[in-house]
Amino acid sequence: MSDVYLVNLATRNAQWLSARQQVVSNNVANANTPGYRSADVKSFTEILDQTSLQFARTDPGHMNIAAGKLGAGGTAAETGLDTFHSGGNVSLENEMLKSAEIGTAYSLNTSIIKAFHRMALSVTAR
């Protein structure tokens, strides 16, 4: 049996969430570092738009879907935030909000995988 697209997508989302949490943690750790500029990762939607998916036609009746573009993620410097006495622009409140968003997204991701796993087990058990 080949890989299930949903599991691959959820895995990639978990990896993206992990990378984003690492960047947010780095921002918090360097909040008082003179001249440090806050950063964030590209949105997951942007990452998916740059990703190529290879669809396989296993039956002549299946639709022929063209693949997207290849690409990779990265970090981007944040703009529009205030500058603080250290010369940096890290707002701990914004970083905590991002961290909460990451936790919520990770919980949703985990819930989807658990539901898919239960569904797969119920199908194979019959």
**Residue 54, pLDDT score:** 62
Helix axes 92-124, 5-29, angle to 10 degrees: 160
Which carries the bigger pLDDT value, residue 99 or residue 55?
99
Asked whether the predicted pLDDT for residue 114 surpasses 50, the reply is: yes
Closest alpha carbon to 17 in 90, 91, 103, 75: 103
Query: Per residue in 9-28, pLDDT tens?
Result: 899 999 999 999 999 999 99
**Residue 71, pLDDT score:** 38
State the average pLDDT for the chain.
Answer: 79
**Residue 48, pLDDT score:** 80
Ordered by start, the domain boundaries in the chain are 5-124
